[in-house]
Amino acid sequence: LNADHVTSIASLLSAPSSSLLTTISTSDSSIPTADASDLESFNTDWMNKYKGQSPLVVKPKSTKEVADVVNYCYEHGIAVVPQGGNTGLVGGGVPVHDEVVINLSNLNNIRSFDEVSGTLVCDAGCVLEVLDNHVGEKGYMMPLDLGAKGSCHIGGNVATNAGGLRFLRYGSLHGNVLGLEVVLPDGRILDGLSTLRKDNTGFDLKQLFIGSEGSIGLITGVSIVTPRRPAAFNVSVFGLNSFEAVQKLFPKVKASLGEILSAFEFFDAHAMSLVKGHATAGVKDPFEAAHPFYVLIETGGSNKDHDDEKLSALLEELIEDEWVDDGVLAENTTQISQLWALRESIPEAAGKAGRVYKYDLSMPVEKMNELVEEMRSRFESKGILGADKMFSSVVGYGHIGDGNLHINIVAKEYSDEAEREIEPFIYEWTSNVNGSISAEHGLGRMKAEKIGYSKSDESIRIMQDLKKLFDPKGIFNPHKYLPGA
Ligand code: FAD
Ligand code: MLT
Ligand code: ZN
């Protein structure tokens, strides 16, 4: 490892074998071995952008086992990377060098569910979709939903403070998480798995771990409040001819649908064309003509007739008064999934088109498309955008309802030269409009040194002091999250 404060993994491999070490590359025949390809998936991120060289993946089955491993690493000054479903988009969940990967996929028990309050207590390694199905059987749902739900863990969601598709209605994990169990960098277990809705006794320590991206502790258990699953869902997608029309549509839809509006997502024509060209089979453009912009709205309510009536009246008005150019309404659950797939498959389609530079920004909604257009014209003027050029496409999409823009820039290859064409321009632009360079994906390895575009020096110093307090040896997720970490 580069950092002085951590020991090379080689010393660990010569240590006595442990039942906790389930994947290890060593000549010691008493320890289960794995070849390089077994280790590759733990060392490589979802985008194929970040790669580490850890020879050791540990998959503990209990909080106590996590604590033992972490304590061992603390005593020996060995760096670790907490890893959930490895769907993160900023390189936070894979090693930079040869840090030990502590993968939580074997810590996956549902501990309890209270059907009166809707409070779920579970291990951090539970997959989000498994939890959603579990509480769904009892009439509830998880307060968050992401395209990565089939792989991401609730612990990873909490560690990144993931936003996603239900944020508009159900808000942030800072509000929905009631308690956490965390293994601290020295191996101590901080048992804060409260199920209380109200608790004003002292500092709310769990908030520090929500969004801390494995920098100050390893989350092993989560207590979270789940809302009632709406009895009726409706989904509609509209085609619009300008971004101004998208902007105007949001307050209009909010005012008309009120409490039943559960998502308001947008994507541009470039995103739609990626989806049509590269997404999984079955994803189809429901419109006859192309439109410059698309908006997906979802409603979720307790009375289908009431929702249908509200939505039909709105759709009629939107078409008649030309708020939108065209629109489709799903008539059954299959069509609901098909319409959602248009939006949810954008990241996957971009990944199939090339190497993707992902930017996850929040800013005033009226600025969003300006940045996307400026990015395109910047590349065009330099002759680097188009088929067989450095960049093949710049797509804009995101959670308009939350002021969150995703810009994906599809490149032929990841290279320093390509990155220099985008950065720091994109961060400076975002900072100049008082936006955030990390709306929901986190900082990870990608943006550890960029936090200053969105936070003051004083805030960063306090964060660094907190990091030292929890992790004095700097063994948790080194080279990530904060400058100089
Ligand atoms: P990982 O990728 O394994 O880890 C992410 C970070 O959390 C790392 O820094 C890791 O060290 C840390 N970590 C993981 N588990 C723990 C733990 N138990 N304790 C402490 N630290 C831990 N994100 C959104 O916010 N909104 C979206 O809509 C969204 N959609 C996505 C769609 C797709 C197709 C993909 C691939 C990703 C998407 N993401 C989205 C990003 C990603 O899925 C989320 O950040 C997710 O919360 C990461 O969970 P994970 O279990 O995969 O974590
Ligand atoms: C999304 O909104 O689709 C996610 O945040 C993932 C992404 O931007 O790639
Ligand atoms: Zn998103």
Query: What are the average pLDDT values for consecutive 10-residue runs of the chain, which has 485 residues?
Result: 41 41 44 78 98 97 98 98 98 98 98 98 98 98 97 99 97 98 98 96 98 98 98 97 98 96 98 91 90 98 94 95 97 96 96 97 97 98 97 97 97 98 98 98 98 98 98 98 95
Same domain, 18 and 70: yes
From the CB of 406, is ligand 2 less than 6 Å away? yes
Same domain, 119 and 204: yes
Same domain, 337 and 385: no
Measured by CA distance, the residue closest to atom 6 of ligand 2 is 347
Measured by CA distance, the residue closest to atom 9 of ligand 1 is 92
The domain containing residue 22 runs over which residues? Answer: 9-106
Tokens standing for residue 237: 């997608």
For residue 318, tell me if it sits in a domain. yes
For residue 456, tell me if it sits in a domain. no
Residue type, 11: S
Domain containing residue 80: CATH number: 3.30.43.10
- Give the distance (Å) from ligand 1 centre to CA of residue 88: 4
For β-strands 177-183 and 119-123, DSSP reports them as unpaired
Atom of ligand 1 nearest to the CA of 440: 25
Atom of ligand 1 nearest to the CA of 45: 2
**Pocket probe mutation, ligand 1, options 47, 131, 160, 170, max atoms within 8 Å of Cβ:** 160
Measured by CA distance, the residue closest to atom 21 of ligand 1 is 214
What is the per-residue pLDDT for 17?
36
Split into its structural domains, the chain has a count of 4
**Pocket probe mutation, ligand 2, options 46, 146, 266, 361, max atoms within 8 Å of Cβ:** 146
From the CB of 206, is ligand 2 less than 6 Å away? no
From the CB of 149, is ligand 2 less than 6 Å away? no
- Give the distance (Å) from ligand 3 centre to CA of residue 23: 32
Tokens standing for residue 375: 């990015």
- Give the distance (Å) from ligand 1 centre to CA of residue 244: 32
**Pocket probe mutation, ligand 2, options 46, 89, 355, 357, max atoms within 8 Å of Cβ:** 89
Same domain, 54 and 115: no
- Give the distance (Å) from ligand 1 centre to CA of residue 312: 37
Atom of ligand 1 nearest to the CA of 158: 47
What is the per-residue pLDDT for 29?
55
Atom of ligand 2 nearest to the CA of 356: 9
- Residue at which a domain ends, from 422, 441, 460: 441
From the CB of 355, is ligand 2 less than 6 Å away? no
**Pocket probe mutation, ligand 1, options 146, 157, 165, 222, max atoms within 8 Å of Cβ:** 146
Same domain, 368 and 313: no
Same domain, 195 and 263: no
Residue 276: how many other CB atoms lie within 10 Å: 14
Half-sphere exposure of 417 (CA within 13 A, CB side): 8
What secondary structure does DSSP assign to 188-204, as a single string? -EEEE----S---SS--
Q: How far apart are CA 212 and CA 210, in angstroms?
A: 6
Residue type, 155: G
Domain containing residue 243: CATH number: 3.30.70.2190
For residue 278, tell me if it sits in a domain. yes
Q: What is the dihedral of CA 114, 120, 125, 130, to 10 degrees?
A: 80
Domain containing residue 384: CATH number: 3.30.70.2740
Same domain, 126 and 213: yes
Q: What is the dihedral of CA 220, 165, 177, 188, to 10 degrees?
A: 20
Same domain, 237 and 211: no
Measured by CA distance, the residue closest to atom 41 of ligand 1 is 88
From the CB of 347, is ligand 2 less than 6 Å away? yes
What is the per-residue pLDDT for 10?
45
- Contact (CB, 8 A) for 136 and 120: no
- Residues near ligand 1 (Cβ within 6 A): 46, 81-89, 92-93, 104, 124, 146-148, 152-153, 155-157, 159-160, 162-165, 213-214, 218-219, 347, 440-441, 444, 477
For residue 248, tell me if it sits in a domain. yes
Same domain, 437 and 370: yes
Atom of ligand 2 nearest to the CA of 89: 9
For residue 449, tell me if it sits in a domain. no
What is the per-residue pLDDT for 32?
66
Tokens standing for residue 399: 């959670």
For tokens 């939107």, the residue is 318
Same domain, 307 and 246: yes
- Give the distance (Å) from ligand 2 centre to CA of residue 299: 20
Same domain, 243 and 340: yes
- Residue at which a domain ends, from 51, 82, 106: 106
| Complex ipTM value | 0.99
**Pocket probe mutation, ligand 2, options 360, 394, 409, 446, max atoms within 8 Å of Cβ:** 360
Ligand number nearest CA of 66 is 1
For residue 483, tell me if it sits in a domain. no
Q: Considering only CA atoms, which of 203, 217, 204, 211 is closest in space to residue 178? A: 204
- Give the distance (Å) from ligand 1 centre to CA of residue 94: 11
For residue 448, tell me if it sits in a domain. no
Domain containing residue 160: CATH number: 3.30.465.10
- Give the distance (Å) from ligand 3 centre to CA of residue 398: 6
Going from the C-alpha of 354 to that of each of 304, 330, 375, 408, 444, the distances in angstroms are 42, 31, 18, 11, 22
For residue 476, tell me if it sits in a domain. no
Same domain, 261 and 363: no
- Residue at which a domain ends, from 225, 241, 272: 225
- Give the distance (Å) from ligand 1 centre to CA of residue 160: 6
